[in-house]
Structure 1
Amino acid sequence: IITKQSYHLSYLALWPIFIVYYDDIFSHFNKSSKFVQIFIGACGGALAYYGAYNLGAIKITDASVANLIGFTFVFWGIFFPLSLKVYSQDVIGKILDFSVIFSFDRTGYQRHKKIYAKQFKRSIFEKKYALVTGGTSGIGFATCMELAKLNVNVETIGRNIDKGNSLQQSNPNINFEPLDLADWEAVENYSNKSIRFDFVVLNAGGMPNNKEVNKQGVELQMASQLIGHYLLIENLRKQKKLNKGCRIVWVSSGGMYLKSLDLESLLNNFNYDKVSTYANVKRAQVTLVEELSKSTVWRDFVITAMHPGWVKTAGLDEALPGFVAKFKNRLRSPEEGAATIIWLLLTESKLKRGGFYFDWHLVSPYLFGLFNPSRKQREQLLKIVYDRAL
């Protein structure tokens, strides 16, 4: 109907741009009935093109003005409500999330913060106590500092005594206790003498370049990040060192999304690869959290898992320098990585026990249902963990 000379096909690109302005102008139309949306779209579109024709901005072929009005009336009656639906479902955001890069990076954090971040009561805690593993650097350090800022009494455990003592001296609300989570006897001794906790953040991690084992001959990542963390909370529970309602957050990694649970590698790990091992242990953590949440012995506590996205930390710099060099301007800060941990500890929103969280909201730990461990694998994992907890 409209001649090519007056209306270039590139103008079609204006339609997506039109949607961008919905947040300021048209978002309230989402609450209107479908009939109202169709009527507004049809009339608005037809009048806009008719006005452009009268002003000479567009020229039409031999077709009548009535055809122009009729076509635009029908087209915009369909397009406008559909575009509102696209807007409300944040299709563009879902596409960006599907890309992974624009979800796990800093832009993903900033976008998700606008959508999912919920305000929670940042009360002045006078008698709340938190335990954070691996709190001397990175995400753990940021978690300790934020909790201490809220007057939570924080105890952090780790292997780096110099950093731990420095952290303790920098803040009166933070106490440091040296502990290697791969040393299971030391973990039990710590639990026996520890205070009672309201919050526990199982954050300690690491990727040794070469395979290392603990006293029991178990690979170090498995021994500390999976078994060591479980022994810690299990002994605290048995010693009644976890207050009722205690929130326990396991800090996993988005790297486990492309990894199936490999039980044989957890046990033996003959062909050690630090990245693959790390992803496997993180997958095991998430699976363990799902299973523990079903157990009656943990019903008085809220256990969740989360992943912080891609965060720039000293540990990541050392473990994956190539990755950091490639994405250094896109990586999140440790404080951004800790934001969802703090939210999981303090939110008054109802959390799903055993749920997996990312950027303030519940997500699936399985892409398209892939790598979901079978019931047999889950039972075998529990046996592996429980046998070493005896």
Structure 2
Amino acid sequence: MLDTLADRLVAPGYSKWGYRLRRRSWPADDPKPGALRAGLAVVTGAGTGIGKATALGLARLGSAVVLVVRDQAKGAAARDEIVAAVPDAVVQVRLCDLSGPESVRRFAGEMVAEFDRLDVLVHNAGVLPQKRTETPEGHELTLATHVLGPLLLTDLLRPLLAASPDARVVFVSSGGMYTQRLHADDPEYREGEYRGATAYARTKRMQVALAPLMAARYASDGIAVHAMHPGWADTPGVAGSLPGFHRLTKAFLRTSEEGADTVVWLAATSPAPRSGQFWHDRRERPAHVLPSTRENPGDVTKFWTRAKSAAGLPD
């Protein structure tokens, strides 16, 4: 009851205090040491923040990790930090811009050519533009980065994921998605005044709406799909994109490692969590808390069809 109350009140549940209170009951629930030994994980947006913390957590559990970044220098620095903390870690850095389908296809082709299987795929890469920006393909940037790119990458890596005995895909969403409904008729945010934070929250809502559909799409291959939100974490992305929020809440923000905890848990805990659900602090959470954000099945189907087409996925 206290957990649910803290979650609904937002600030107590999303802050470092919510994490640290819940953490007291978790020791027996922690992934076993070496849970991912001999495995392979891909983490997008792994140069800083929650992505880097996730990669470190997976490496500590024995997984080889591919850091997917847009900035080679940040990726190399993150790799050095992870290897310094886990000296026997196997860590690679690969360049890929999730907003560009050619970049996604190139990266996925490299992975398929080099590896026989993939156990964990974490979609963490994110952007928060201050003004509406389109990719060369004509898609709004947050949609391309948070939705279309991950959809395409997951589908292209499907053969590798299917080769794993327990493949898991994790979307790092945001608690901000609770403020937004699914805009099935305007996924590109062409209508109304554009706000970067709103675009971010809208596409994070889309990720949560897609998780059950992707879980069903890949169930026959034994691939689980999860969505989660990390609470409020003190990351370079938050500080740079939301300076006012960061300034007001800095004393209450989680560390990147605390924000990444549920991602690592979803990737490594046993038995495997239920596929297609939405998680925060190792517990299933409702996808909606406001009646105004609830979508009908027709909207979800419409959005799924549009998203697959825009991402270039086969039916």
Q: Does 1:372 align with 2:288?
A: no
Compute the displacement of 1:122 (Å). Answer: 1.9
Q: Does 1:178 align with 2:95?
A: yes
Distance 1:327 1:165 in 2: 30
> Is this contact kept in 2: 1:167–1:174, CA < 8 A?
no
Q: Equivalent pairs: percent with the same residue?
A: 29
Match of 2:10 among 92, 100, 106: 100
> Is this contact kept in 2: 1:293–1:299, CA < 8 A?
no
Q: Does 1:333 align with 2:255?
A: yes
3-state DSSP of counterpart to 2:131: coil
Compute the displacement of 1:127 (Å). Answer: 1.6
> Is this contact kept in 1: 2:40–2:118, CA < 8 A?
yes
Match of 2:107 among 190, 209, 213: 190
3-state DSSP of counterpart to 1:265: coil
3-state DSSP of counterpart to 2:42: strand
Q: Please name the residue that 2:186 is paired with.
A: 265
TM-score normalised by L of structure 1: 0.73
Distance 1:240 1:260 in 2: 31
Distance 2:274 2:47 in 1: 29
Distance 1:282 1:124 in 2: 29
Distance 1:340 1:257, change over 3 A: same
Compute the displacement of 1:269 (Å). Answer: 2.7
Compute the displacement of 1:226 (Å). Answer: 0.4
Match of 1:208 among 111, 124, 129: 129
Compute the displacement of 1:152 (Å). Answer: 1.1
Q: Aligned-pair RMSD on alpha carbons?
A: 1.9
Q: Please name the residue that 2:216 is paired with.
A: 294
Match of 2:240 among 318, 334, 348: 318
Listed one character per residue, the Cα deviations across residues 263-311 of structure 1 (whole Å, up to 9, x for unaligned) are 2332243432101100100000010111122235655111111000000
3-state DSSP of counterpart to 1:304: strand
3-state DSSP of counterpart to 1:200: strand
Compute the displacement of 1:148 (Å). Answer: 1.7
Distance 1:216 1:168 in 2: 32
The letter of the residue matching 2:179 is L
More helix by share: 1
Compute the displacement of 1:370 (Å). Answer: 4.8
Q: Does 1:344 align with 2:266?
A: yes
Compute the displacement of 1:129 (Å). Answer: 0.4
Distance 1:384 1:238, change over 3 A: farther
Q: Does 1:357 align with 2:272?
A: no
Q: Please say which structure displays the higher CA radius of gyration.
A: 1
Compute the displacement of 1:374 (Å). Answer: 1.1
In the TM superposition, what are the counterparts of 1:123-138 in structure 2 within 5 Å? 123=34, 125-138=36-49
Distance 1:151 1:119, change over 3 A: closer
Distance 2:35 2:165 in 1: 20
For CA contacts below 8 A with separation 6 or more, give which structure has more relative contact order.
2
Q: Does 1:224 align with 2:145?
A: yes
> Is this contact kept in 1: 2:212–2:276, CA < 8 A?
yes
Q: Please name the residue that 2:78 is paired with.
A: 167
Match of 1:281 among 194, 199, 203: 203
The letter of the residue matching 2:32 is K
Compute the displacement of 1:96 (Å). Answer: 3.2
Listed one character per residue, the Cα deviations across residues 87-142 of structure 1 (whole Å, up to 9, x for unaligned) are xxx4x554333321111001111112224562331226442100000000000010
Compute the displacement of 1:240 (Å). Answer: 6.3
Q: Please name the residue that 1:15 is paired with.
A: none
TM-score normalised by L of structure 2: 0.89
Distance 1:345 1:353 in 2: 12
Structure 1 spans left out of the alignment, 5+ residues: 1-89
Match of 1:235 among 147, 156, 163: 156
Distance 1:242 1:205 in 2: 28
Distance 1:96 1:205 in 2: 27
Listed one character per residue, the Cα deviations across residues 295-347 of structure 1 (whole Å, up to 9, x for unaligned) are 35655111111000000101000111111111110000000001111111111
Distance 1:291 1:157, change over 3 A: same
